[in-house]
Structure 1
Amino acid sequence: MRILLVGEFSRLHNSLKEGLTALGHEVHIVGTGDDFKKYPVDFPISSTLVASNSLLRFCNRITRKLFRLDLEAYERAYQFRKLLPILKGYDVVQLINSNAIETYPKLALRLYEKLFAQNSKKFLLICGDETPIVDVLLKNNLKYSVLTPYFNNPAATKKYYNYTLNYTNNQQRKLFDFVQTNCDGLLVSDLDYKIPMEQTGFDFTFIPNPINTDKLEFIPMEIPSKIVIFHGVNKYSAVKKGSSVFLEALSKIELKYGNKVEIRIVNSLPYDEYQKHIRSAHIILDQIYAFDQGYNALEAMALGKVVFTGAETEFQEYYQLTDSVAINALPDVESIVQQLSFLIENPEELTLIGKRARQFIEKEHHFVKIAEIYTESWNTTNP
């Protein structure tokens, strides 16, 4: 099959492409590379003109402030439009988000009309903020979610949720409705989207994230003399992922175990640099307000790291796990401190959990196995 993957926010589409390519399919990715993360794409649509010109960057700051117009969003739409003549003849087109082009909804809708008309089957993958997900989370009927900090203190945190809450505005809602109506199927990538989607009435297929275990070499963790604890702060999602809870817990751990630990904190690194830190650490503090693991957590688990992330009861039950493969990070500083303290005082647990984490990824997230599930889902869906 010829497959076009539109958008890339986490390396999910890159790993899926690698699995599909191993199965003999022809696959291309079109996208921006997601800002500072710089994920590889085959057809780039990032804003190069505005981003590289100091005068245009200055003008863009003015237009965004005075008129709420983002020149980079227009440029991304323009770049995509230029590519349309070659983005045709694909058996499958999969969007990683209803606004995978990262432009204004009205522009995205027009571009999708042309893209959909010149290709066969179309699918929407829900693996992040999306209109029906945000609608459900705003009901606040789950034990917690990425919106929990917003509910706890809306006045102080609302500015950090502008991107998320935009999915409920009229234009973005119209875009989602268009995509959902014109796609042949909806897919979701983990339990943090499966669980809320079950409240929406939409039909969807759950396919776990693909992880390229060939690229992520597992080296059994030796019991270290000094335990390295790593937390990568993302400037766009730090509040949603609970970084403040992790940072407060780390301050207490440093006071308690200063000579036994090395704490590393970085901010908004490109993917390749971020991976270097992951590989040299023993414990990764990923995110708090989650039931399941996100993409960074899964890749760290594939390397045999002990990851503090979503590993809720729902996750344990779905995968029928009896032993922990990750640490369920609760939104409570003392809970994080206690869990870290136990691992520091019992370092042999790091080795055991790391081995189980790798085994879990190979069983449930292997990139070729997951690519087979995708192709089966695409093939069995009638256009």
Structure 2
Amino acid sequence: MKILLVGEYSRLHNSLKEGLVALGHQVVLVGSGDNFKNYAVDYSIRTSWTTRYWLPRKLKNAIYRFTGLDLEMTERAFRFYFLLPQLKGFDHIQLINSDALETHPFCSRSLYRKLFAQNPNCTPSLLICGDETPVNDYLLQDKLKYSVLTPYLKDHSLRSQFEYSLKYTYPNYRKLFNWVAAHCKTMIVSDLDYKIPMEAMDYPVTFIPNPINSETIPCCPNDNMTPIVIFLGINRLSYTKKGISYFEKALAIISEKYSTQVDIIVTENVPYDIYIHSYNKAHIVLDQIYGFDQGYNALEAMAKGKVVFTGAETEFTEHYNLKERVAVNAIPNVASLVSELAFLIENPAEIRAIGIRARDFIEKEHAYKTIAKRYLDSWKSVD
């Protein structure tokens, strides 16, 4: 098959591409690289004119201030439009999000319409692995014990920090999602944090876990733990929704109590390649609060044999029938985080044991070729 993957937010599509290529398929990935993360793509719609040069940046900011028009979004639309002649002859097209092009919703609909029309034999699918209209509609009902929208639900003054998530509930983005959902023959969810809301909103979805290419990720045995290295990578754009302040408060306590036993590494807003390199020597990785399941970064760290503080709720352990921990369930409670960290620091053998189980779990449940085959089966089932 010749497959087009549109959009990249976490390296999920890159790993899926690796699995599909290993199975003998031809794959093209189009995306912006997702800001500072700079993920690899085959064809880029990354903004340049509106972000690189001083005068266009000033003009862009002035226009946005007085009209609300975002010229970065406009530039991405133009870049994708001029790529369209090269995006023909595909058997399948998958969008990583209804807003995969990160442009104005009316532009997205027009560009998707052209893309689908010039690939009449393709069977489009929509991947849901982050913010999406039905997901956020459900989360705003506040029926779960917590979610990425919990900080906003508790304090509406934080609205500006959740504008990216809330935009999916606005009429123009809702219209975009409805159009995409009507034209995609299947919807796939990447983890339980999206499966639960989508099913609660009565959408038929196929659950396929994130693909992780463990062949390219060496496992780092947790042997030398003097000191124990703890890593926290901060993305300011998702600081509040990932509950990073809880980790920071817990680390302040841990660094004082175990000052001679731990080494704490903190990075902020670094490209993906630097982020990965930064936590290579860590034994413990602090990923995020408010999750039921693990996202892509957490899974890659688990593949390296790290002990990851992330979503590992009861729903997760029951789904995979786990009897022992493969990750530490990070909840929005500083005392709980401190207790979990202290236990690991005082019992380094448990760090080794969880790290080994984490790697085994990734190889069993997230093997990239097996996951790629599940995608193919899902796409073919609706042909």
TM-score (norm. length: structure 1): 0.99
Alignment of 1:159-170 (within 5 A): 159-170=160-171
Q: Deviations over 1:296-328 (max 9, x none)?
A: 000000000000000000000000000000000
Write the distance in 1 (CA, Å) between the matches of 2:239 and 2:52.
27
Alignment of 1:22-61 (within 5 A): 22-61=22-61
Please report how far the alpha carbon of residue 225 of structure 1 lies from its aligned counterpart in structure 2 after TM superposition.
1.0
1:6 corresponding residue in structure 2: 6
- For structure 2, the 5+ residue unaligned runs are none
Name the amino acid aligned to 1:267: E
RMSD: 0.7
Name the amino acid aligned to 2:156: P
- For structure 1, the 5+ residue unaligned runs are none
2:130 corresponding residue in structure 1: 128
Write the distance in 2 (CA, Å) between the matches of 1:121 and 1:291.
31
1:152 corresponding residue in structure 2: 154
Write the distance in 1 (CA, Å) between the matches of 2:203 and 2:33.
29
Write the distance in 1 (CA, Å) between the matches of 2:53 and 2:278.
32
Please report how far the alpha carbon of residue 223 of structure 1 lies from its aligned counterpart in structure 2 after TM superposition.
4.3
Write the distance in 1 (CA, Å) between the matches of 2:12 and 2:66.
36
Write the distance in 2 (CA, Å) between the matches of 1:221 and 1:344.
12
Please report how far the alpha carbon of residue 67 of structure 1 lies from its aligned counterpart in structure 2 after TM superposition.
1.4
Find out whether 1:90 has 2:90 as its counterpart: yes
Q: Deviations over 1:155-183 (max 9, x none)?
A: 1x111100100000000000000000011
1:118 corresponding residue in structure 2: 118
Name the amino acid aligned to 1:346: N
Name the amino acid aligned to 2:46: S
Name the amino acid aligned to 2:47: S
Contact 1:20 1:368 in 2 (8 A): yes
Please report how far the alpha carbon of residue 219 of structure 1 lies from its aligned counterpart in structure 2 after TM superposition.
2.3
Find out whether 1:221 has 2:222 as its counterpart: yes
Write the distance in 2 (CA, Å) between the matches of 1:373 and 1:139.
32
Q: Deviations over 1:60-81 (max 9, x none)?
A: 1112222111111100000000
Contact 1:39 1:271 in 2 (8 A): yes
Name the amino acid aligned to 2:103: T
1:376 corresponding residue in structure 2: 377
Give the 4+ runs in structure 1 shifted more than 2 A. Answer: none
Contact 1:223 1:350 in 2 (8 A): no
2:209 corresponding residue in structure 1: 208
Find out whether 1:254 has 2:238 as its counterpart: no
Identical pairs, percent: 55
Write the distance in 2 (CA, Å) between the matches of 1:198 and 1:184.
17
Write the distance in 1 (CA, Å) between the matches of 2:115 and 2:279.
38
Name the amino acid aligned to 1:254: S
Write the distance in 2 (CA, Å) between the matches of 1:65 and 1:359.
51
1:105 corresponding residue in structure 2: 105
